[in-house]
Amino acid sequence: MKNIKVLKFGGTSLRTASDRKSIIEVISKERERGYNIILVVSAIGRLGDPYATDTLLKYIKYNEISSRETAVISSCGEIISSIVLSSHLNALGFKAAALTGAEAGITTSNEYLNAQIISIDKRKIQNLLNEGYIPVVAGFQGQSTRGDITLLSRGGSDVTAAAISQIFGAQQLDIYTDVPGIMTTDPKILNSARTLKYLNYNQALKIANSGGKVIHPEAIRWAQENNILIKIKTLKSSQETIITKKTRNNLAPGSIICVTTNEMDEKREKITIIGNKLNKNKDLQSYILYHDMNIQSLSFFPDKIELILPKQSVKKCVEVFHKNFIENG
């Protein structure tokens, strides 16, 4: 079957009734454009929302239940979400069918909380598509070769969506989230962050690997193998990031694209400055070496610089790098 598009909706895009209404409008438009749609959903909302992953995890203590049971309770959020969305679609006259990861044919390795997808049996989703249904797949989960429920690691619904895109020969995967794409830094840290319009797979992978959690790195790898165009977007704006093999965002030596942050432990965070041939950026290097920013450890690589700092110094430091070397760089 041609013209397949996979749409993934993250927990933050499914939160309210109005979000879910906007999702139905997106699906409707994509169908009108002639696409056969496969949906992948995450658990609704974030900590505090009834069936969000972190809310479910608050009901248990890791040492009281096994990893197997942790995977089972965590998987419930996505299952509930898939049924909520399919019921909305059916109520509006679409034909939709919710599937758990196992029902969608996703077989994984045996690590309960951090499994890898080994294969996807296409038959169930394919039959639904042939019959005019919109499959709504619960993301983040699969079934191990031993028959247990497994998780694809935190943020893993992106992996479900990219793997399904590859197996079904989709040319495009749209990931809906609460930010208008991959940005020059986390907009929750700095509101002057701007959306990066175009990235190639390698640039996106570097950002994802160093804490830019908009997309799971494993999802980029699945997409890259089949050259699938990824769009990262939000329901609320027309801005987006387009990730492809080649980018229009060719970087001059010494330039920076993104500053990411990643928690190391309770007290420390790692800041990563990502760019091209950063050894050519003498201003940046001397800024780091000669300004007192509370840096505890520093590593230079050709395409990134990693700094470890106490948590309280991170915001200021991100602000300085962003202002001096991205906004005015």
Ligand X SMILES: N[C@@H](CC(=O)OP(=O)(O)O)C(=O)O
Q: What is the contact surface with ligand ADP in residues (CB under 6 A)?
A: 10-13, 42, 155, 177-179, 182-183, 185-188, 212-214, 258, 260
Which residues does residue 141 pair with via DSSP β-bridges, in sequence order?
151
Question: Which amino acid, residue 200?
Answer: N
Which residues does residue 47 pair with via DSSP β-bridges, in sequence order?
49
Cβ atoms of residues 287 and 322 within 8 Å: no
Smallest gap from residue 93 Cβ to ligand X (A): 27
Smallest gap from residue 3 Cβ to ligand ADP (A): 25
Rounded Cα gap, residues 295 and 316, in angstroms: 12
- Relative orientation angle of helices 67-91 and 17-32, to the nearest 10 degrees: 70
For residues 209 and 279, which CB has a smaller minimum distance to ligand ADP in the complex?
Answer: 209
Q: Are strands 172-177 and 4-9 parallel, antiparallel or unpaired?
A: parallel
Smallest gap from residue 102 Cβ to ligand ADP (A): 22
For residues 155 and 254, which CB has a smaller minimum distance to ligand X in the complex?
Answer: 155
Q: Which residue is nearest to ligand X (CB)?
A: 11
Is 217 a binding residue for ligand X by CB under 6 A? The answer is: no
Smallest gap from residue 287 Cβ to ligand X (A): 34
Cβ atoms of residues 47 and 57 within 8 Å: no
Binder among 31, 68, 124, 154 for ligand X (CB under 6 A): 154
- Which residues are CB-contacts of 223 (< 8 A; sequence separation ≥ 6)? 162, 165, 166, 173, 201, 229, 230, 243
For residues 129 and 240, which CB has a smaller minimum distance to ligand ADP in the complex?
Answer: 240
241 binds, among ligand X, ligand ADP, none (CB under 5 to 8 A by kind): none
212 binds, among ligand ADP, ligand X, none (CB under 5 to 8 A by kind): ligand ADP
Rounded Cα gap, residues 151 and 327, in angstroms: 39
Rounded Cα gap, residues 101 and 54, in angstroms: 19
38 binds, among ligand X, ligand ADP, none (CB under 5 to 8 A by kind): none
For residues 112 and 140, which CB has a smaller minimum distance to ligand X in the complex?
Answer: 140
Which residues from 29-68 bind ligand X, rule CB under 6 A?
42-43, 53
Query: If phi over 0 gives left and psi between -120 and 50 gives alpha, with beta otherwise, what is residue 44?
Result: beta
For residues 36 and 212, which CB has a smaller minimum distance to ligand ADP in the complex?
Answer: 212
Paired tokens of 36: 């056969």
Consecutive H or E run containing 21: helix 17-32
Binder among 5, 10, 244, 257 for ligand X (CB under 6 A): 10
For residues 207 and 305, which CB has a smaller minimum distance to ligand X in the complex?
Answer: 207
Give me the residues that bind ligand X (CB under 6 A), please.
10-11, 42-43, 53, 77, 139-140, 154-158
